[in-house]
Structure 1
Amino acid sequence: MENKNAIAFTVTGDHIQLTATALASLCKNHTTDEHLDVLIVADGINPADIEWIRRIPALYHQENVFVTVWEPPAVVGQITTSNTSARFPGMTYWRLFLPAYFPQFTRLLYVDNDVLFYGDVSAIFLKVPDDRPVAAVPDFYYHAMPNDQGLADQFRLASSRDYVNAGVILYNVPVFNEQFPVATVLDAVNANHFKYHDQSVLNQLTADTIVRLPLVYNYQKDDHWLNDWAKVNATDQYPHFAKAHDHVLIRHFVEFAQYSMPWEHLAINDPWEADWWTTLQSLKTRIGAFQRNA
């Protein structure tokens, strides 16, 4: 099989601006000449916005980045669980079916919309070995806390610190599809009763086989958390977080309180938030210039 890599997003409704900002940061930092597919699995998106999403690589002069937009996989219609919420809608489960939906790829990097790329992530596709199905980054909350053996036992983990975050998932597509066919994933989704929906299913299914990636590929906390909480309350893990802070490749804005996301308040609370607004402004400026010159 020819090695083919892709990056995937899932999006519904007015979250299209988050996807666009993430994609703009990806294009801004993409430096390799290799062909890269970006797959946008979308529902309820304005057709005009879909056209702009497709144009973003061209706005950043990225001739080797190709965006395609897809409807959700049909299998999501078989999700029967009522265990969803405003924060975790049914869409969060879509990411678990992406390997089966895109079997033509060798490696598939799923990324949440609420991210910024800070470097060329091409090397990440090499981070999952040929014989392993998936890789992800430990969830910062659990990784910082002492081991909760009860939680670890629930998910068949050696330590609760090994529990991974589902905002960045690197799939070895053929191996994942072989080990976790659609029926297996669907059964796990419909049986899930844990708070963190897709994330819990991912941890349950892959506890024995997942590769844990370096923290830089899904850096989930702000500077206030690092310097005012982790430094005091997670002294043994703090050096690992601090080292990753200086080499972040993907910054993931994980919600931790009401109005905590950059686009939910007016203040600029740290450089990460400033970069998010600057990236969106840059994209809007490029779109405006394109419209004026069209």
Structure 2
Amino acid sequence: MQELRKQAIPLVVAFTPNYFVPAATCLYSILEHSDSSASFRVICLLTEELPDNMKLALQQLDKHRLQVTYINLKGRLRDIYVDGRYTVAAFYRLLLPDLLPEYDKVLYVDCDVVVRNDIVDLYDKTDLTGYYLAAVFEASLNSQLDYLDKLGVKPGHYINSGFLLMNLQKLRTDGMVGKLLHAAKTPHLQFPDQDVLNQLCAGKILGLPPYYNSIRTFYLPQYKHIFLRYYTEIDWQAVQEHGTIHYTGGKPWDTFTVQFAVWWHYYERLPKDIKSKWKPNKQLHCLYKIYNTAVGKYSLDSIRQLVRRFKYGIS
């Protein structure tokens, strides 16, 4: 067994019990793409107590490399505006500077993510001096420009908050938790926690290469011309080859979506005890198995190309 590095990387995830398997899939992908000498202190922020059988199952991912702790934050945020599309768990990342006073910086990852890059290397080598966060800026769509203007955020300078390297020390020093929570009380924000991070941290966000948090539009050919307004052809290719997939929009366990098969690939490799805690969509699971064959992949990709050709005039 390889000797582990002395300090475990602090890694934060937030989920509800019904997101247990996606959370486990995300953690599995992180282990798969990190150096085997790296270990993680996984801090799970919960909206309600997680059953003991789930906690035991999660530890089976890798008892040697994972130290898992749980913080139940039920009732902690009572007066935050929560859009029906989200749960209160989305806001928990705003509390991290005060929740984790023992850490100067942490990684935060949403659970609808498959990581395909070494985040330990990112954690070790990123200098956050003077910055609150390091994150990936979205390639702002034309349909988003009016909303960004209302937020006071420039196009191309709006981050997706699903993957963050957070400078907790600076956020604490500047009293940002209270400011962020106060701003999050504003009703009718489209992406509440994400919007306030963009508003209040503007100018103090270090941009990461887009492959560290590749949202849905980064994979769709019809949006490539918009992506290239903010990034390069090399960036586009890096996203396609090894981008960390963030399933914004439809989830691969619910629908046939962008990079659908990648998520199921990692799900299939989970320990049986974890998979037993969840009933997969039988039709989608079957579709993955079909797609995982040469004929199935060719057929489904051909259908996708035809749809794009007729709808967008591209292949």
Fold match, TM over 0.5? yes
Shift in alpha-carbon separation, 1:288–1:97, aligned structure 2, 3 A: closer
Give structure 1 stretches of 5+ with no counterpart: 290-294
Which one of the candidate residues 254, 266, 273 is aligned to 2:260? Answer: 273
CA distance in 1, matches of 2:227, 2:32: 34
Q: Determine which of 253, 256, 272 is the counterpart of 1:263.
A: 253
Change (3 A) 1:242 1:133: same
Q: Secondary structure at the match of 1:138?
A: coil
Aligned residue in 1 for 2:62:
57
User: Secondary structure at the residue paired with 1:94?
Assistant: helix
Give 1:80 deviation, angstroms: 0.8
Give the Cα separation in 2 of the matches to 1:154 and 1:278: 40
Structure 1 residue identity aligned to 2:34: H
| C-alpha separation in 2, matches of 1:128 and 1:200 | 24
Contact in 2 for aligned 1:9/1:111 (Cα 8 Å): yes
**Which residue in the other structure is 2:214 paired with?**
219
> 1:161: how far off?
1.6
* Alignment match, 1:230: 223
Q: CA deviation at 1:246?
A: 3.8
For residue 236 of structure 2, the aligned residue among 242, 248, 262 is 242
Report if the CA contact (8 A) 1:5-1:107 is conserved: no
Query: Which residue identity lines up with residue 238 of structure 2 in the other structure?
Result: A
**CA separation in 1, counterparts of 2:149 and 2:72?**
37
Residues 243/50 of structure 1: CA separation in 2 closer, same or farther (3 Å cut): same
Kept in 2: contact 1:166–1:199 (CA 8 A): yes
* Corresponding residue pairs, total: 268
Question: Would you identify which runs of 4 or more consecutive aligned residues in structure 1 move more than 6 Å?
Answer: none
Change (3 A) 1:188 1:39: same
Give the TM-score of the pair, scaled to structure 2.
Answer: 0.75
Q: 1:162 to 1:66 in 2, by over 3 A?
A: same
1:168 to 2:167 alignment: no
Task: Give percent identity, aligned residues only.
Answer: 22
Aligned in 2, Cα 1:94/1:230: closer, same or farther, shift over 3 Å?
same
Corresponding residue SS for 2:118: coil
TM-score (norm 1): 0.80
In the other structure, the counterpart of 1:80 is 79
Which residue identity lines up with residue 80 of structure 1 in the other structure? Answer: D
Question: Paired residue for 2:133?
Answer: 134
Q: Paired residue for 1:283?
A: 270
Match of 1:292 in 2: none
Tell whether the 8 Å contact from 2:46 to 2:89 is kept in structure 1 after alignment.
no
For residue 9 of structure 1, report the CA deviation from its aligned partner: 0.3
Greater CA deviation, 235-244 or 181-190?
Answer: 235-244
Find the structure with the greater CA-based Rg. Answer: 2
SS at match of 2:245: strand
Matched, 1:252 2:246: yes
Report deviation, 1:64. 3.2
Rounded to whole Å, the distance in 2 between the matches of 1:241 and 1:153 is 26
Inter-CA distance 135–279: structure 2 relative to 1 (3 Å threshold):
same
1:127 and 1:213 in contact (8 A); partners too: no
Whether contact under 8 Å (1:136, 1:168) holds in the other structure is yes
Do the aligned partners of 2:41 and 2:66 also contact (CA within 8 Å) in 1? yes
Deviations 1:77-132 (A, max 9, x none): 3x413x32332222211111112101211221111000111132112223342222
